[in-house]
Chains A and B, each alone.
Chain A
Amino acid sequence: MARAVVSLPATVKRGEIVEIKTLVQHAMETGFRRTQLGIAIPRDIIRLFVCTYNGEEIFRAEFHPAIAANPLLTFTTVATESGSIAFTWTGDKGFSLTESARITVE
């Protein structure tokens, strides 16, 4: 099973800019490679990443071939209220992975 690691501060002040880092395990097979016998290796990539903050979408990224394996994303948001930040990666071959983290805003 694929793994993901997300990191963000657990506690922040209201209005503060929060840096979020996400790392996900995925081969990101481009679809352009062939085996040594010349057989094409089918594309198998993550297509979409979505991040929601208490249910509201705050960040999304579309992925394409030639993005490195085990994609690492860093982005920011503004701390508005305590709650849950959810992360979803979806892609080829039915790939789907969800992770979430709590954040406390003081």
Chain B
Amino acid sequence: MSARRGGRPLPALAAACVVLGFTQAAPAAEIPSAERRSGYEFMSRETRAMQDDDATNPAVLWLLDGEALWNRKDGAAGRACADCHGNARASMKGAAARHPAWDAAAGRPVNLEQRINACRAGRQQAAPLAYESRDLLALTAYVARQSRGMPVDIAIDKRTKPFLDAGRDTFMRRQGQLNLACTQCHDELWGRKLAGSTIPQAHPTGYPLYRLEWQGLGSLQRRLRNCLTGMRAEPYPFGAPEFVDLELYLMWRARGMKMESPAVRP
């Protein structure tokens, strides 16, 4: 059992970047669909086994909390998620696989956390839950669990296209004091080592997930903050439109891949 806590998000990144020797100027091509691999496939046998078994995947503890919250009446409206949506196993099937999704009220795509908070504020008349709070992670994990095994299915149309493009731009753009772009690691150098870690392809199919380094559950945006601070770029605040656009691009980039929430990562 590991007891690493907090710590630096991408250890020895600067030195490792020198070793990897980033030279590329032109943006890399998208990974062909036959070569797409979930972060799961880069993990050790032990960590994969931990994810696969509900008796050992620690995210199960959050799922139990999420189920309790789903059935609990809350807010001025005195209603539970279940009062409107019934059994989550049926009503929430596929919901996580199609988020971020267009939201007419917001006039832009919203991610799953924002969609849940919209129901809390608008339908339950309760205070929205804070990003990375235990309750929001638990509810999101519980809703996302109902999409496990389903293919990522992001609909891109006239309305969502500009947001997808903005997300792709962020992924391709060099930024931060190390002048790196996400694409350099995740499109070009996946499968290689960065210090002790294997660089994955950055597919968002397992979130929210239990990261051993975090010793807890965390959202996709928390993971993205880790990569941004590792690049010594300033991370966006939780819920920022830039983050949701990036999430939209990552989900679209992983289209057709199987959802595995809540996953485990090292």
Interface residue ranges, A against B (CB under 8 Å): 3, 5, 7, 21, 23, 25, 27-28, 30, 33, 66-72, 74
Interface string of B62-100 (1 = CB under 8 A from A): 001100000000000000000000000000000000000
Told that A7-B54, A21-B53, A68-B1 touch, could you supply 7 new A-B pairs with CB distance under 8 A? A3-B61, A23-B56, A28-B215, A66-B3, A68-B3, A72-B1, A72-B58
Q: B55 contacts which chain A residues (CB < 8 A)?
A: 5, 7, 21, 23
In the complex, A68 Cα to B212 Cα: how many Å?
9
Q: Could you jot down 21 A-B contacts, CB within 8 Å?
A: A3-B61, A3-B64, A3-B65, A5-B54, A5-B55, A5-B61, A7-B54, A21-B56, A27-B215, A30-B3, A33-B5, A67-B1, A67-B3, A68-B2, A68-B3, A68-B215, A69-B216, A71-B1, A72-B50, A72-B58, A74-B56
Contact: A5 with B60, CB < 8 Å? Answer: yes
Contact: A23 with B3, CB < 8 Å? Answer: no
Tell me the smallest distance from the CB of A64 to a CB of chain B, in Å: 10
Q: B1 contacts which chain A residues (CB < 8 A)?
A: 67-68, 71-72
In the complex, A33 Cα to B215 Cα: how many Å?
14
Q: Which 10 A-B pairs have the closest CB atoms?
A: A7-B55, A69-B215, A68-B1, A70-B58, A66-B3, A21-B55, A25-B61, A3-B61, A3-B64, A68-B3
In the complex, A71 Cα to B3 Cα: how many Å?
11
In the complex, A27 Cα to B3 Cα: how many Å?
11
Tell me the smallest distance from the CB of A25 to a CB of chain B, in Å: 4
**With A5-B55, A21-B56, A23-B56 in contact, is A70–B3 under 8 Å at CB?**
no
Residue of B nearest to A70 (CB): B58
Tell me the smallest distance from the CB of A85 to a CB of chain B, in Å: 14
In the complex, A74 Cα to B50 Cα: how many Å?
12
In the complex, A23 Cα to B3 Cα: how many Å?
16
Tell me the smallest distance from the CB of B117 to a CB of chain A, in Å: 24
Tell me the smallest distance from the CB of B62 to a CB of chain A, in Å: 9
In the complex, A5 Cα to B64 Cα: how many Å?
10
In the complex, A40 Cα to B53 Cα: how many Å?
36
Q: A30 contacts which chain B residues (CB < 8 A)?
A: 3
Tell me the smallest distance from the CB of A43 to a CB of chain B, in Å: 13
Q: B216 contacts which chain A residues (CB < 8 A)?
A: 69-70
Q: A69 contacts which chain B residues (CB < 8 A)?
A: 215-216
Interface residues in B95-113 (C-beta closer than 8 Å to A): none
Q: B56 contacts which chain A residues (CB < 8 A)?
A: 21, 23, 72, 74
Interface residues in B1-52 (C-beta closer than 8 Å to A): 1-3, 5, 50
Tell me the smallest distance from the CB of B145 to a CB of chain A, in Å: 14
In the complex, A55 Cα to B2 Cα: how many Å?
33
Residue of B nearest to A74 (CB): B56
In the complex, A69 Cα to B62 Cα: how many Å?
13
In the complex, A78 Cα to B2 Cα: how many Å?
29
In the complex, A70 Cα to B2 Cα: how many Å?
11
Residue of B nearest to A26 (CB): B61
Residue of A nearest to B210 (CB): A70
Contact: A70 with B64, CB < 8 Å? Answer: no
In the complex, A48 Cα to B53 Cα: how many Å?
25
In the complex, A25 Cα to B210 Cα: how many Å?
13
In the complex, A99 Cα to B54 Cα: how many Å?
17
In the complex, A70 Cα to B1 Cα: how many Å?
10
Q: B3 contacts which chain A residues (CB < 8 A)?
A: 30, 66-68
